[in-house]
Amino acid sequence: MSVTQSAIDEIKAMIIRGELGAGDRLPKEADLAARLGLSRNSLREAVRALTLAGILEARQGDGTYVTSLEPRMLLEPLTFMADFHADRTLLHVLEVRRILEASVAALAAQYITDEELAELRAVVDEMDACETVEAFVANDLRFHRIIGAASRNPILASVLESFSTPLSRTRVWRGVTQANAIDQTKAQHEALYDALAHRRPDVARAMATAHIAGVESWLENALDRVAANGS
């Protein structure tokens, strides 16, 4: 379990125990970090993740507050993981995306232009400059959008693009909570770019498959953990 995930669990436990109630303001960052035995950076990541989940609310210039969410609801996996479809629907979405991404990548390896490769290279190079998980996810979406266009199959690319919205928050959550998720994505994007640049459809298909399979594996483990905690 990552340090950030531990921090998330600690804050959730405070709400469940009633130490923090609906509408309460979180203690000052330095005080809360010291109390929980966390670094301030880990605490910030946990707060961002819980804000994304709707459990906390950041008010500009006024601090971070617990929402009106009832503490008991945090124990229900279908509530806490609502946007992840804890009934595992999202795993089916990722399965479809894995199949489509593999086909798109194989086609792109055949048809991608030098101009598109240059654009893709620029997006890959910009990954290191992303200062937030949200910025990194936006970069990730651009990367896959370019490959979709390069497939020269607008229908296939359009269908794949339709999965971007329901999966974008999942990508952010993974980037915040999974240790090394961003580094893994960078390495996978580099490998996929190389396969496209060398016009290797078979390798591109394999790299795209492995890339999405890693997300599937993470999500399945996350859902299993939530189900176990809620049982």
Predicted local confidence at residue 53, as pLDDT: 67
So what's the architecture of 83-230 in CATH?
Up-down Bundle (1.20)
Nearest-10 crossing angle of helices 89-111, 181-197: 30
CB 117 within 8 A of CB 197: yes
From its phi and psi, is residue 67 left (phi > 0), alpha (psi between -120 and 50) or beta?
beta
Q: Is a pLDDT exceeding 80 seen at residue 58?
A: yes
Handedness of CA 86, 207, 140, 165 (dihedral sign): negative
Structural domain spans, the chain: 3-75, 83-230
CA atoms within 13 A on the CB side of 200: 13
Q: Which range has highest mean pLDDT (27-31, 71-75, 101-105, 178-182)?
A: 101-105
Render pLDDT for 134-175 as a digit per residue (tens, 0 to 9): 788 889 999 999 999 999 999 999 888 887 756 776 777 787
CA distance 20 to 71: 9
Q: What is the mean pLDDT of the chain?
A: 83
**Four-way CATH pick for 3-75: 3.40.50.150, 3.10.20.810, 3.40.50.720, 1.10.10.10:** 1.10.10.10
160 Cβ partners below 8 Å, 6+ apart? 97, 100, 101, 104, 144, 148
